[in-house]
Structure 1
C-alpha cells in the first residue's frame, strides 16, 4: 500500500515520469545540439524523447513505410514535402526550425581556400577522395552537388567522390584521415575537433539549407509541446551555439 502511495507521489512530482516517449526522427546533422535541447526539455519535466538519427531521405522512407514516429525534423524541404504529399504529417504543425551553411573541411592543419569557379579541387585532393553524403538522396550531398555544379566544379571531381550514408559519416571520413577533404554542414564541423573549415560555399551556389519540422499524423499533445519547445528561445540558443541560423518564421505558433 505504501509502495503505491509513493509511486503516485513520484508521478505527481515528475511530469515526464510514466508518460509515453516521443519518438523523433531527425536528420543526422542535428546530433549533438538536439541531444542537448532534449536534456533541457526533460529536465523541465517534458515527456521522455527518443531520437532516431539518419539521413532525411531514409527517415522519410521509414515514415512512409509506417514507422511509428511522432515528430520528423528533416534537413531538406524536399523530403518533408514527400512525407506531406502522402498525408503523413499534420500540415498545420509544419515550420522551419533553423538554417545552415555548407563548408569544405579538411585536417586541422590544412590551409584555407577560396571556394569559387577557379578552385582547383582535384589538385587539392591529390590521390585522395572528396567525402560527401549520398549526392542523389541525402540533403547534404544534394546541396554539395548543387554547389559544385553551379561553380562548374562537379564534372572533374565527380569520379573522386566518396559517398557516405549521411553527412556525419562523410565527416567521419575526413576526421579519421580516410579522405583529405569533405563537404558537410558548418554545424557538423563545429561538433568535430579533428577537422578544420577551410572554406564556405557561397550561399547562392545551392538552394537555401532549411530544417523543416512537423508532427507525424497521429502524434499527441506531448509531441506538439516538444515541437513548440524546439521552436522556442531556449532550444534556439542551443542551436545557435552549435552554428545553426534561425529563420524569421521559426517560432512556435500562438
Structure 2
C-alpha cells in the first residue's frame, strides 16, 4: 500500500513538473515541422533558434527545392508549414487543397545574381545582349533545374529576356536545388552560377560578379503557409513569429527583403 501511494505521488509530481514547464512540454515538446526552400536555410535556422530561445519547442526544419517539397506534401509527408521560394509551387499546393485557408503570407523577396569562385571573380556587365557564353570560357553554368527549381526558373527567364539563353543552354549544369548549384561554383566545378543573392552572401568561397536586373525575370517572392493537414498547436504561432520583428531581423541579416503581405484568397 505504501509503495502504491509513493508511486502515485511520484506520478503526480511528474505531471505537475510537466505542466509547470508549459503545455508544449506536457505534450512531449514537439515543435512544428517546416518544409522550406533550400535558399532559406541560414535565415530560417537563425529564426528557429531564436524561437526556441524563447522557450518554445524547436521546430523541425526540412530543406529542399520547393518543387520537391510540394510533391512530398502532396504525397502525404507530415509538414506543418510550407515555405516556398516562388509563387508557383505554393499556388499548386493551394489548388490541391493542401494549404489551410487564410494562412498564406507572401513574406520575403530576393534577387538572383551571377557568382564565380572567389579567387577568380571578374565583374560581368549583365545587360541585354551580353555574351555569357564567352564569359564561361568553355565551362558550365551552374543553375537549379530550369523547369522546376525556382532559382533555375528565374535564371532561365532572365537569360531569355536578356538574349543570352540560346548561347548557354547547351552548357548549363542543372542542379536539384539552388544550394547544390552554389556548391558547384564554390568547389570550382563550374566557373559561373546563377543563385540567389542571399545564397551568395552565405558562401565565402564565391563572389557576386553581376546582378540580374529586376525587370528581367518575374518578381522573386517567398510565400509561407500552414498546411491543411497540420495538427501541431504551435503551427500558427510559429507562422506569426516568422512575421514578427525577431524573425525579421534574422531574414534581413541574410539579405532578404521582408514583404509580409497576406495573399489574396484563391
TM above 0.5, yes or no, is yes
Pick aligned residue for 1:128 from 139, 152, 155: 139
The answer to whether 1:44 aligns with 2:54 is: yes
Structure 1 counterpart of 2:233: 221
How far apart, in 2, do the equivalents of 1:7 and 1:29 lie? 41
- Whether the aligned pair in 2 keeps the contact of 1:104 and 1:183 (CA below 8 Å) is yes
**Residue deviations 1:112-132 (CA, integer Å, cap 9, x gap):** 111112321111111210000
Pick aligned residue for 1:104 from 87, 100, 114: 114
Aligned residues: 251
How far apart, in 2, do the equivalents of 1:15 and 1:189 lie? 40
Larger Rg: 2
Pick aligned residue for 2:21 from 13, 17, 31: 13
How far apart, in 2, do the equivalents of 1:228 and 1:179 lie? 40
Structure 1 SS opposite 2:118: coil
Structure 1 counterpart of 2:104: 94
- Whether the aligned pair in 2 keeps the contact of 1:15 and 1:46 (CA below 8 Å) is no
Structure 2 counterpart of 1:238: 250
Structure 2: unaligned runs, 5 residues or longer = 1-6
**Residue deviations 1:67-120 (CA, integer Å, cap 9, x gap):** 111000000110000000011111200001110000000011311111112321
Deviation at 1:248, TM superposition (A): 5.2
Deviation at 1:8, TM superposition (A): 3.6
Pick aligned residue for 2:83 from 39, 63, 73: 73
Pick aligned residue for 2:194 from 174, 178, 183: 183
* TM-score relative to the length of structure 1: 0.94
Deviation at 1:46, TM superposition (A): 1.8
Structure 1: unaligned runs, 5 residues or longer = none
* TM-score relative to the length of structure 2: 0.90
Structure 2 SS opposite 1:249: strand
Structure 2 SS opposite 1:41: helix
Structure 2 counterpart of 1:28: 38
Pick aligned residue for 2:148 from 125, 128, 137: 137
Structure 2 counterpart of 1:152: 163
Pick aligned residue for 2:221 from 197, 200, 210: 210
Pick aligned residue for 1:63 from 65, 73, 88: 73
- Whether the aligned pair in 1 keeps the contact of 2:114 and 2:209 (CA below 8 Å) is yes
